[in-house]
């Protein structure tokens, strides 16, 4: 592959070759008999559709079963090696669900996700390998695991050339970023560039959607050159996200000829290697990713031996510090001019309000002067914007630099034409897809705008970039509309012409009708903070600074000139105040700057309740709070926990466990203090029985644990026991788990003592005197084998005569270490609900939480990845002991919840996201639960499937899987309930939880929730601040302010692996800024920092409540209303198409949401006035 030049050189007629379209056989599928000429169906079900295409009467179609894959393939095409192409096509799926359409060349597939019912245009960029073999030089269009039909039409293939963003003396492409003297290149797999980038020198490697696919003979070569800067230090990071065999070899070079191996990766995980110091400083650093593998990559989406899901290069540069982010466009010349050589070297920032200038060096090769005037034309449907540069007369043989500034009116897909005008026939064209993040058609200037600073405001539903241009519309005041006891927000934006120092913001009370007052403490201003998104979540995102955290204003602020600084203004109208318009001001005070911002709040004449109708269930990790904020004192933990729970309450979000410091306790007086294992009277060292710990499951881990924490004595602990392995040579562990002063388990600090048995009774005796810093107690666990996250090891160990004593005094600290038999008839649990009841009463009545996850021991559990078999008190599910204990325990839980009135709030969530292979295991658990405690809600995160019917009565599918309404209605008629959830999926085009998505999405998600009569929402976590896989060092936690990506952990992900879930997945709250890195020395006792997405969730839940209030009022007064009135109110209960037509088509503009909300509010007030 030839190196992609920094400058795009257009050499007259040569451009007729460079920019030519590559003919696609029968591209519109209009020709053929009996099938489409030039295309062949691989296998399965497909047809040459004659019922209408996007471009003519014909199209190709494939139909999948949901478990297969097939495609149409073209004849071989004359691809040039090492060349960048764009493939354009139309796709639709009238009835498809699940899976994805597969598109593009055989060597560079792109999964496009779910295609809509209507024809939609798609465009993909790819670069060909350095050698294109005939057996891969073809296009394919088909489906993978789609249930239903996908259609394709109007396929075009065009050679394009990359142009990268210029910034001063630097040229940076997609995925490149310079912050000071720190340079980062993150291969832009998830952007339009796919396998192409400025840094890519050449490749002989397959690519699938967002990852390199390696097999025998595969390699990828990157060449890192950053202008004329010298690189003084550098490191490479490569993530193997899939591994079936072979090994990744990482090599570096200064010249691309002499290579040095610096690392290998032979399993799934991330490998980081420093560039050797003796190769630096250097202006060029070459990196080669090479496969050592036996099998070549095959066709049909062969996953290869391993896949590279992420590649990152970091370097320290010499020279002046700078801030710059790269961007790449792909241009095609549609009209060449033999009289001119054109070197197009810049297309501007490509962002509204930024420096958008097309620049080119033009040389007149003719024998006469030429009159030229550059023109840039932007086209979006019927919209057109034209900009002209200065007219120039270019003498024969002369060269001159041309510039033409242009304006980008708004976000969206624009076709941009560049012409030299006058005597020139030159025309170039590129597609400019301006992300929704850069939309400009919103906001209003405020009267306080002056020469010192502009002031404007916008809805809370917008995410405002720092460089977004000022709005043209004007208004006299900020306007917020809210019910009583509701929180509503808006944003006001300060954009200084010169730097502002020491800014303070002061709120005042708002006054309204009949002496009504909204006190100043109900008017709150927060700073909108930004996080640096370096790796976009998906095509919707963009590498840029994105607003998300909303830290409180604790100290005066300094603001930069020429940048937007938004502020989050939220108002909570008190209960009982008169309805009407309330007015007041926000004062801005700084050195040499003072202004007043007028504020108007319209208060509706009804109240929102403390507890919402829409049920919510969100994960929350107090342990992360303690870790980041360095809180060990129990009283301080309780005080800070209250701040967090009040924050959840203020946002109407219920946490899984609202009583983490006040669990109920269960004792089994006749069962001893051990949990796990089985008393075995057939094998013992002494007495009548021993404890057998047996693991015969390849998906779980079996253990027995002493049920009490043991305080660490001053001189340590002496552990003594006898053991016998079922097989000679079997290896297993015995573990001390450590807890801190507050009783919290210290993650990553276990003491795993590894033993190997010989099949005979053996003695273990060890004194332990070294414990992790901060450890105050231990938990003793006896394992059947080595622990593994996916539970694959199996084996069995008998334990007997276990003793744990104070190493100094000899005092025995264990109970029941002789493991003698237990009387089954006497097994009964004793509950202590005292602390739990008090905490839960507060959670339900004071915090207003409307759900909680009820723990239930003995069910087993797991995920699609691994599972734990049911066990209680060490007895497996088929033993008499287990059956008696589980029945008594489950009934005790159920009846206490009934007594407290909590059966409608509690749910049992014991298995997550099962695969079909897990269905029988899951159904067995639900049958056991129904038999013993039928009134407990049984929740499952899965869509309705025949193999699960009769098990859960609370279904919680992922939003895209809420599709088969016939099945849903059947289960509703049977009395089942429905929630739904989002997490790391779905991604675009659905409503998501990600930072780098439009602000409206989470609010619209709640409108979709109402639209489908879904009763609740669930998200797995809310303060997922760090990943133990991506950041395995417990002393170096992830800083969510600096690294917004939520990285995968668990599911067998090795330590050090950075595999992305998505920016902000499971993270709606931030730690206090002072504890952002978690490495500060001092304890931080503040509550959490909100996010814009957290606020949008609250607004959506409150919107849902508007609908619920109106629906209840209508039901109560229906018999007193005329038919026309009933019809009008029922119409208000529907979600308009302007907000959401289906799960993938919805507004990114908050205006339709706010308008409909106001209409519903007026409907509520109208009905309230009716008798």
The per-residue pLDDT for range 943-960, each reduced to its tens digit, is: 999 999 999 999 999 999
Cβ neighbours of residue 392 under 8 Å, at least 6 residues apart? Answer: 371, 372, 373, 400, 402
Question: In CATH, what number does 182-318 get?
Answer: 2.60.120.260
Which residue in this structure is represented by tokens 């904020």? 629
The per-residue pLDDT for range 80-123, each reduced to its tens digit, is: 999 999 999 999 998 888 899 999 999 999 999 888 888 999 99
Cβ neighbours of residue 777 under 8 Å, at least 6 residues apart? Answer: 709, 710, 711, 712, 738, 739, 743
- Is residue 868 a contact partner of residue 877, using CB atoms and an 8 Å limit? no
- Is residue 653 a contact partner of residue 1019, using CB atoms and an 8 Å limit? no
Return d(Cα 777, Cα 711) in angstroms, integer. Answer: 4
Q: Which of 14-28, 510-524, 1030-1044, 1116-1130 has the lowest mean pLDDT?
A: 14-28
Burial of 300 (0-12, 13-18, 19+ CB in 10 A): middle
Equal fold, 20-159 vs 182-318: yes
The per-residue pLDDT for range 600-653, each reduced to its tens digit, is: 999 999 999 999 999 999 999 999 999 999 999 999 999 999 999 999 999 999
Return d(Cα 327, Cα 315) in angstroms, integer. Answer: 19
Model confidence, pTM: 0.83
Question: In CATH, what number does 20-159 get?
Answer: 2.60.120.260
Whole-number Cα distances in Å, 763 to 686, 735, 778, 955: 13, 16, 22, 50
Q: Which of 9-18, 60-69, 850-859, 1126-1135 has the lowest mean pLDDT?
A: 9-18
At residue 790 the predicted structure's pLDDT band, cuts being 50, 70 and 90, is: confident
Res 195 pLDDT > 50: yes
Coil, helix or strand at residue 1115 = helix
Q: What is the pLDDT of residue 353?
A: 87
Q: What is the pLDDT of residue 677?
A: 84
Q: What share of the chain is helix, strand, coil (3-state, %, to 5)?
A: 15, 40, 45
Return d(Cα 193, Cα 175) in angstroms, integer. Answer: 9
Q: Which of 79-83, 675-679, 812-816 has the lowest mean pLDDT?
A: 675-679
Q: To 5 degrees, how large is the angle CA 50–CA 54–CA 57?
A: 30
- Is residue 493 a contact partner of residue 464, using CB atoms and an 8 Å limit? yes
Higher per-residue confidence, 482 vs 823: 482
- Is residue 1003 a contact partner of residue 461, using CB atoms and an 8 Å limit? yes
Return d(Cα 885, Cα 674) in angstroms, integer. Answer: 14
The per-residue pLDDT for range 565-582, each reduced to its tens digit, is: 999 999 999 999 999 999
Q: For the chain, which residues make up each domain, given as ranges?
A: 20-159, 182-318, 440-534+552-607, 622-663+836-1088, 672-821, 1096-1169
Which residue in this structure is represented by tokens 């018999």? 1119
Section 1136-1140 average pLDDT? 98
Return the H-helix or E-strand segment holding 1063.
Answer: strand 1060-1063
Return d(Cα 641, Cα 60) in angstroms, integer. Answer: 58
Q: What is the pLDDT of residue 20?
A: 65
Q: To 5 degrees, how large is the angle CA 216–CA 222–CA 228?
A: 165
Res 7 pLDDT > 70: no
- Is residue 745 a contact partner of residue 738, using CB atoms and an 8 Å limit? yes
Q: What is the pLDDT of residue 4?
A: 37
**Pairing of β 170-172 and β 161-167:** antiparallel
| Mean residue pLDDT across the chain | 93
- Is residue 346 a contact partner of residue 162, using CB atoms and an 8 Å limit? no
Comparing CA positions, the residue from 1098, 1041, 1069 lying closest to residue 529 is 1041
At residue 348 the predicted structure's pLDDT band, cuts being 50, 70 and 90, is: confident
Which residue in this structure is represented by tokens 């963003």? 165
Q: What is the pLDDT of residue 2?
A: 31
Cβ density class 81-113: b for 16+ within 10 Å, e for less: ebbbbbbbbbbbbeebebbbbbbbbbbbbbbbb
Comparing CA positions, the residue from 827, 951, 935 lying closest to residue 889 is 827
* Fold adopted by 622-663+836-1088: TIM Barrel (3.20.20)
Comparing CA positions, the residue from 759, 824, 833 lying closest to residue 796 is 759
Res 822 pLDDT > 90: no
Q: Which CATH architecture has domain 440-534+552-607?
A: Sandwich (2.60)
E-state strands within 326-473? 328-335, 340-346, 357-364, 370-372, 375-380, 383-388, 392-394, 399-405, 412-419, 427-434, 444-445, 453-459
Coil, helix or strand at residue 758 = coil
Section 980-993 average pLDDT? 95
Section 493-513 average pLDDT? 97
Comparing CA positions, the residue from 1168, 1023, 35, 125 lying closest to residue 605 is 1168
**Using CA of residue 470, residue 476, residue 482, residue 484, what is the dihedral sign?**
positive
DSSP 945-1006: -GGGTTS-SEE--BGGGTT-HHHHHHHHHTT-EEEEE-SS---TTS----TTS-TTHHHHHH
Q: Where are the alpha helices (DSSP H) in 179-295?
A: none
Return d(Cα 886, Cα 405) in angstroms, integer. Answer: 74
**Using CA of residue 979, residue 982, residue 987, residue 992, what is the dihedral sign?**
positive
Phi/psi zone of residue 367: left (φ > 0), alpha (ψ -120 to 50 degrees), beta?
A: alpha
Return d(Cα 485, Cα 611) in angstroms, integer. Answer: 11
Section 455-459 average pLDDT? 98
Section 363-378 average pLDDT? 95
Q: Which of 155-169, 250-264, 951-965 has the lowest mean pLDDT?
A: 155-169
Res 358 pLDDT > 60: yes
The number of CA neighbours under 13 Å toward the Cβ of 635 is 0
Q: Which two tokens stand for residue 201?
A: 């020198």
Q: What is the pLDDT of residue 875?
A: 81
Res 679 pLDDT > 90: no
Return d(Cα 575, Cα 702) in angstroms, integer. Answer: 54
At residue 349 the predicted structure's pLDDT band, cuts being 50, 70 and 90, is: confident
Q: CB neighbours (10 Å) of residue 201?
A: 21
Res 1134 pLDDT > 60: yes
Question: In CATH, what number does 672-821 get?
Answer: 2.60.120.260
Higher per-residue confidence, 859 vs 55: 859
Looking at the chain, how many residues does it have?
A: 1171
Q: Where are the alpha helices (DSSP H) in 1039-1145?
A: 1092-1117, 1123-1132
Return d(Cα 1027, Cα 1064) in angstroms, integer. Answer: 12
Give the distance between the most distant pair of CA atoms in the chain: 111
Q: What is the pLDDT of residue 674?
A: 86
- Is residue 631 a contact partner of residue 740, using CB atoms and an 8 Å limit? no
Q: What is the pLDDT of residue 127?
A: 97
Return d(Cα 787, Cα 340) in angstroms, integer. Answer: 70
Q: What is the pLDDT of residue 1074?
A: 97
Q: What is the pLDDT of residue 13?
A: 31
Res 167 pLDDT > 80: no
Comparing CA positions, the residue from 716, 563, 615, 668 lying closest to residue 981 is 615
Return d(Cα 524, Cα 542) in angstroms, integer. Answer: 30
Distance of CA 489 to the CA centre of its chain: 25
The per-residue pLDDT for range 261-290, each reduced to its tens digit, is: 999 999 999 999 999 999 999 999 999 999
């Amino acid at each position: 592959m030839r190196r992609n030049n920094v400058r795009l050189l257009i050499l007259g007629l040569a451009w007729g070759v460079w920019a030519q379209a590559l003919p696609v056989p029968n591209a519109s599928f209009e020709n053929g008999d009996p099938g489409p000429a030039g295309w062949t169906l691989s296998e399965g079900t497909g047809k040459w559709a004659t019922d209408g295409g996007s471009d003519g009467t014909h199209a190709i179609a494939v139909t999948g079963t949901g478990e297969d894959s097939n495609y149409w393939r073209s004849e071989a095409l004359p691809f040039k090696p090492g060349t960048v192409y764009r493939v354009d096509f139309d796709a639709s799926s009238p009835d498809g669900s699940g899976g994805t359409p597969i598109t593009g060349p055989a060597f560079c597939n792109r999964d496009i996700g779910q295609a809509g019912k209507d024809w939609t245009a798609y465009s993909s960029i790819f670069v060909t390998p350095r050698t294109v073999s005939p057996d891969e030089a073809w296009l394919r269009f088909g489906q993978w695991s789609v249930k239903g039909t996908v259609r394709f039409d109007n396929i075009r293939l065009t050679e394009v050339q990359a142009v990268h963003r210029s910034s001063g003396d630097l040229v940076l492409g997609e995925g490149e970023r310079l912050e000071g003297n720190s340079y980062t290149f993150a291969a832009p797999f998830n952007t339009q560039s796919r396998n192409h980038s400025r840094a890519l020198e050449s490749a002989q490697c397959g690519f699938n959607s967002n990852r390199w696919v390696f097999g025998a003979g595969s390699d990828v070569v990157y060449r890192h050159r950053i202008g004329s800067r010298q690189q003084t230090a550098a490191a490479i990071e490569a993530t193997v996200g899939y591994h079936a065999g072979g090994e990744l070899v990482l090599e570096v070079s200064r010249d691309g000829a002499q290579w040095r191996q610096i690392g290998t990766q032979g399993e799934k995980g991330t490998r980081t290697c420093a560039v050797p110091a003796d190769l630096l400083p250097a202006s060029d650093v070459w990196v080669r990713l090479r496969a050592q593998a036996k099998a070549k990559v095959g066709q049909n989406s062969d996953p290869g031996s391993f896949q590279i899901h992420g590649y990152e290069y970091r370097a320290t540069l010499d020279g002046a510090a700078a801030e710059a982010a790269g961007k790449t466009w792909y241009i095609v010349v549609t009209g060449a001019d033999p009289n001119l050589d054109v070197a197009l070297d810049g297309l501007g920032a490509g962002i509204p309000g930024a420096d958008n200038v097309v620049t080119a060096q033009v040389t007149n090769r003719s024998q006469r002067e030429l009159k030229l005037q550059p023109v840039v034309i932007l086209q979006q449907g019927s919209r057109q914007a034209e900009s002209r540069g200065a007219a120039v007369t270019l003498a024969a043989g002369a060269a001159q630099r041309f510039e033409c500034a242009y304006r980008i009116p708004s976000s969206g897909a624009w076709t941009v034409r560049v012409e030299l005008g006058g005597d020139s026939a030159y025309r170039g064209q590129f597609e400019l897809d301006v992300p929704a993040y850069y939309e400009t058609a919103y906001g209003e200037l405020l009267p306080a705008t002056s020469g010192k600073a502009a002031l404007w405001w916008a809805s809370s539903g917008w995410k405002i970039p720092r460089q977004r241009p000022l709005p043209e519309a004007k208004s006299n005041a900020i306007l917020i509309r809210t019910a009583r006891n509701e929180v509503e927000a808006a944003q006001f934006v300060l954009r200084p012409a010169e730097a502002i120092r020491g800014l303070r913001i002061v709120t005042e009370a708002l006054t309204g009708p009949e002496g009504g007052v909204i006190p100043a403490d109900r008017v709150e201003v927060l700073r909108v903070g930004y996080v640096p998104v370096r790796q976009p979540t998906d095509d919707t995102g963009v590498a840029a600074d994105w607003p998300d955290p909303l830290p409180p204003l604790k100290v005066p602020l300094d603001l930069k000139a020429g940048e937007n600084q938004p502020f989050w203004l939220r108002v909570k109208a008190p209960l009982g105040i008169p309805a009407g318009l309330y007015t007041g001001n926000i004062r801005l005070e700084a050195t040499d700057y003072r202004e007043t911002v007028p504020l108007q709040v319209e208060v509706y004449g009804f109240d929102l309740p403390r507890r919402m109708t829409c049920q919510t269930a969100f994960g929350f990790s107090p342990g992360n709070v303690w870790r980041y904020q360095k809180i060990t004192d129990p009283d301080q933990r309780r005080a800070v926990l209250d701040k967090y729970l009040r924050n959840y309450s203020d946002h109407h979000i219920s946490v899984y466990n609202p009583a983490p410091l006040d669990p109920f306790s269960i004792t089994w007086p006749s069962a001893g203090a051990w949990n796990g294992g089985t008393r075995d009277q057939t094998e013992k060292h002494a007495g009548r029985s021993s404890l057998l710990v047996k693991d015969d499951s390849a998906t779980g881990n079996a253990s027995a644990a002493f049920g009490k924490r043991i305080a660490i004595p001053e001189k340590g602990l002496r552990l003594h026991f006898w053991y016998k392995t079922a097989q000679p040579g079997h290896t297993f562990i015995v573990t001390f788990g450590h807890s801190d002063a507050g009783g919290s388990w210290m993650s990553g600090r276990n003491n795993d003592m590894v033993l190997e048995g010989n099949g005979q009774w053996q003695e273990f005796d060890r004194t332990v005197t070294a414990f992790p810093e901060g450890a105050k107690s231990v938990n003793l666990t006896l394992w059947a084998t080595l622990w593994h996250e996916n539970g694959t090891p199996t084996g069995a160990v008998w334990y007997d005569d276990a003793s744990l004593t104070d190493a100094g005094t000899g005092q025995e600290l264990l109970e029941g270490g002789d493991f003698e038999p237990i009387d089954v008839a006497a097994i009964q649990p004793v509950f202590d609900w005292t602390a739990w009841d008090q905490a839960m009463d507060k959670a339900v009545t004071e915090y207003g939480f409307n759900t909680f996850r009820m723990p239930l021991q003995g069910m087993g559990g797991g995920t699609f990845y691994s599972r734990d078999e049911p066990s209680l008190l060490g007895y497996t599910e088929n033993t008499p002991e287990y059956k008696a204990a589980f029945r008594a325990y489950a009934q005790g839980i159920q009846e206490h919840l009934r007594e407290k009135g909590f059966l409608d709030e509690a749910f049992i969530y014991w298995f997550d996201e099962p695969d079909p292979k897990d269905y029988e295991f899951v159904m067995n658990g639900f049958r056991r639960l129904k038999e013993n405690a039928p009134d407990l809600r049984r929740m499952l995160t899965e869509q309705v499937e025949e193999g699960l019917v009769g098990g859960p009565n609370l279904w919680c599918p992922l939003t895209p899987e809420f599709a088969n309404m016939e099945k849903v209605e059947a289960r509703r008629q049977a009395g089942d309930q429905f929630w739904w959830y989002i997490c790391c999926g779905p991604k675009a085009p659905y409503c998501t939880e990600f930072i780098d998505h439009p602000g409206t999405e989470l609010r619209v998600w709640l409108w979709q929730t109402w639209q489908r009569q879904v009763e609740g929402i669930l998200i797995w976590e809310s303060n997922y601040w760090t990943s133990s896989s991506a950041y395995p060092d417990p002393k170096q936690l992830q800083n969510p302010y600096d690294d917004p990506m939520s990285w995968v952990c668990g599911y067998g992900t090795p330590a050090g692996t950075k595999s992305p879930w998505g920016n902000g997945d499971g993270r709606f709250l931030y730690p206090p800024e002072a504890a952002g890195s978690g490495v500060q020395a001092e304890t931080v006792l503040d509550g959490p920092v909100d996010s814009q997405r957290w606020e949008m969730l609250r607004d959506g839940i409150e919107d849902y409540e508007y609908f619920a209030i109106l629906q209840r009022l209508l039901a109560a007064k229906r018999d007193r209303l005329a038919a026309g009135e009933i019809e009008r109110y029922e119409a208000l209960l529907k979600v308009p198409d302007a907000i959401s037509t289906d799960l993938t088509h919805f507004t990114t503009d908050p205006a339709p949401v706010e308008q409909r909300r106001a209409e519903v509010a007026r409907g509520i007030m109208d009905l309230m006035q009716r008798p």
